[in-house]
Structure 1
Amino acid sequence: MAKAVRTALFGALLSCVAGAVQAADYTLSINTALVQQDPLYKGLEEFKAAVEKRTAGKVAVRLFPASQLGKDEDLLEQARAGAPVAVVVDGGRLAVFVKEFGVLGAPYVAEGYDGIRKVVTSPLFEGWSEKLRKASGHQVLSFNWWQGERHLLTNKPVKQPADLAGVRMRTPGAPVWMETIRAMGATPTPLPWSEVYTALQQQVIDGAEAQDPASYGARLYEVTKYLTKTGHINLITGIVTSAAWFDKLPAEYRQILREEALKAGDSASRGTEASLVEFENQMKAKGMQIVEIDVTPFRQATAPVYEKLGYADLHKEVEALVRR
């Protein structure tokens, strides 16, 4: 879609929202690639309800699932320009502004939600967030929105990195993701998430890597045979908005947004934890093979990614946080 057309559609959507929330003093439109059935989307609904209740409707939150407002990168640019928008985004996409965020998407950086939460609620992370405000004009509301560990989805069995030779694997285009998939043995192929199903169906790509809720929501069990549980990336995301817009809010509202984002992120992440077995059972019932493997060869193969991308020292800091 041409940029001018995307901009026009974006403006039209926001105009509709503005017309519907005239009673509110401020409106925040949140864009996410997630579908409404995703546990994290349920958390966004909780966030919306809590913010609107605590501000007596003076701050309205509008949710746009399935990337209705456009790509994450486009929304980040809108936020930089001061638009009242936010996006649920991973650290890899923020690393172009502040490099440290990229380590959140590095391979095997932490296990499960409890491990990664220690990092994204730490003073170390707050320092990165402050750097982000200065570098790009983005405000992190909270970064504790866990989407699960990412696994491989292919049409052939995978037990070790050598099995991925020549496999065109869809992954987001951020350097840390690309290097991780390359180190695992596959050929990283960046594509928008919305195009993955068709690309697999038409054999433009040979596989994808994703967390269970997203894989199920996108019906990838229809176009792949194997889900191999590598857990190579622990996908933590956050709600990121415009610092310029955020700073115009009364102090009370700024505090409410951050408090409720943290609460809803915890709720959504626990919901994700509770849903993983059921998502895998449903995919298995639809014919997909769920394969448990020894991930040691993948851990070893991806270990050099930290050094290659300049994260070796930061990795040590993050490991220390996780061990606490």
Structure 2
Amino acid sequence: MTITRFAPLLFAGLFAVVAGPTLAADQTLSINTALTTSDPLYKGLESFRDAVAQRSNGTIEVKLFPNSQLGPDEDVLEQARAGAPVAVVVDGGRLAVFQKEFGVLGAPYLASGYDGIRKVVTSPLFEEWVGKLRDASGHQVLSFNWWQGERELWTNKPVATPADLAGVRMRTPGAPVWMETIKAMGATPTPMPFAEVYSALQQNVIDAVEAQLPAGQGAKLPEVTKNLTKTGHINLITGLVTSAAWFDSLTPEQQTILREEALKAGDVASYGTRDSLAAIEADLKAQGMTVAEIDVTPFREATAGVYDTLGYGDLRDQLQAIAAGQ
């Protein structure tokens, strides 16, 4: 038999290889976070990296980029929209521009601590939001149970009531829910990347910042602020968000690995954060900061209208019931 007689068979076989179902090749996912390597949440990312490598038999490699090495969160979200194999640890406020419901997760005094908000972000209702976000922006949530603590006020003057924040330029993320919350608390919201906060305080570009304890310690805020006021105004829950197009290029098994391990690692990060708070507060005091426990009722009352302003009034009641286990 000649080569010519084999040609149709060879072509058919080649076509089957090209046109048939294919498995995802080895993949690399680059994860960006504004946090430092000392942050408890970063330990969760390391746990995620190692678990994914082991469970996927090395077919998925996770690389971590702390200190916003890949750029501001918004830039990485745009890269993910374009299909790049990147992910970012991001709050719901920044996702609200694509799917409105996510913004309520950053609204003031929605829940306290981790356990209640975890019920919200693992609920069937939240999974509906995950699907809507995919359709709206091309982002895939791997998990949203990355709790970073409650946001407090870092200032250079004592603060006890909203009136004390009049005229204070306070850094906050640029999402509407954050901006409205800080404005309602009495300060002037000033958006900028978190990586720029230290120098901005040094140069008097801003007067204050609101941040959770691990992030403030990691950013060395005790060197540029004197007072920590425990308002707990935002219970910061964040998610690990990647490209839906990239996620869809993976095998179903790889997709399952990423989502399951992200949820497990989120718990590692969140409970690690919870367990670190007392020691961080003691360290801040040792560095000379004044830590004030105050009656937050005036701040709670001042920010109550933020929900209705942004159209979250009905959703607030629903989510608070889920958080309470009702």
- What band does the TM-score fall into relative to the shorter chain? over 0.9
Aligned-pair CA distance for 1:224: 0.6
Distance 1:154 1:191 in 2: 17
**Which residue matches 1:310?**
311
**Which residue matches 2:95?**
94
Distance 2:172 2:81 in 1: 25
Aligned-pair CA distance for 1:202: 1.1
Distance 1:73 1:219 in 2: 23
Aligned-pair CA distance for 1:322: 1.3
**Which residue matches 1:151?**
152
Q: Secondary structure, in 3 states, of the residue corresponding to 2:157?
A: coil
Aligned-pair CA distance for 1:234: 0.3
**Which residue matches 1:233?**
234
Distance 1:33 1:110 in 2: 24
Distance 2:168 2:64 in 1: 36
**Which residue matches 2:271?**
270
**Which residue matches 1:251?**
252
Distance 1:122 1:156 in 2: 41
Distance 2:79 2:202 in 1: 33
Aligned-pair CA distance for 1:84: 0.5
Q: Secondary structure, in 3 states, of the residue corresponding to 1:176?
A: helix
Distance 2:34 2:171 in 1: 16
**Which residue matches 2:36?**
35
What pairs with 1:77-226 in structure 2 (closer than 5 Å)?
Answer: 77-226=78-227
Q: Does 1:70 align with 2:71?
A: yes
Encode CA deviations 1:70-104: one digit per residue, 9 max, x unaligned: 11111101101111000000000000000000000
Distance 1:153 1:172 in 2: 15
Q: Secondary structure, in 3 states, of the residue corresponding to 1:108?
A: coil
Distance 1:322 1:42 in 2: 26
Encode CA deviations 1:95-133: one digit per residue, 9 max, x unaligned: 000000000000000010011101100011101110000
Distance 1:217 1:95 in 2: 27
Task: Give identity over the alignment, percent.
Answer: 74
- Give the aligned residue type for 2:172: T
Q: Does 1:294 align with 2:287?
A: no
Q: Secondary structure, in 3 states, of the residue corresponding to 1:231?
A: coil
Aligned-pair CA distance for 1:136: 0.3
Structure 1, unaligned stretches of length 5 or more? Answer: 1-23
How many residues end up aligned between the 2 structures?
A: 301
- Give the aligned residue type for 2:223: E
Distance 2:115 2:222 in 1: 28
Aligned-pair CA distance for 1:138: 0.3
Larger radius of gyration: 2
- Give the aligned residue type for 2:280: F
Distance 1:273 1:263 in 2: 16
Distance 1:164 1:269 in 2: 30
Encode CA deviations 1:213-233: one digit per residue, 9 max, x unaligned: 000000100111100000000
Q: Secondary structure, in 3 states, of the residue corresponding to 2:94?
A: helix
**Which residue matches 1:19?**
none
Q: Secondary structure, in 3 states, of the residue corresponding to 1:29?
A: strand
Distance 2:321 2:125 in 1: 11
Aligned-pair CA distance for 1:317: 1.0
Encode CA deviations 1:4-28: one digit per residue, 9 max, x unaligned: xxxxxxxxxxxxxxxxxxxx71110
Q: Secondary structure, in 3 states, of the residue corresponding to 1:70?
A: coil
Distance 2:43 2:320 in 1: 31
Aligned-pair CA distance for 1:309: 0.5
- Give the aligned residue type for 2:283: Q
TM-score (norm 2): 0.92
Distance 1:255 1:39 in 2: 25
Aligned-pair CA distance for 1:254: 0.3
TM-score (norm 1): 0.92
Distance 2:97 2:307 in 1: 16
Q: Secondary structure, in 3 states, of the residue corresponding to 2:292?
A: strand
**Which residue matches 2:6?**
none
Distance 2:254 2:269 in 1: 22
**Which residue matches 1:11?**
none
Distance 2:99 2:253 in 1: 28
Runs of 4+ in 1 over 4 A off after TM superposition: none
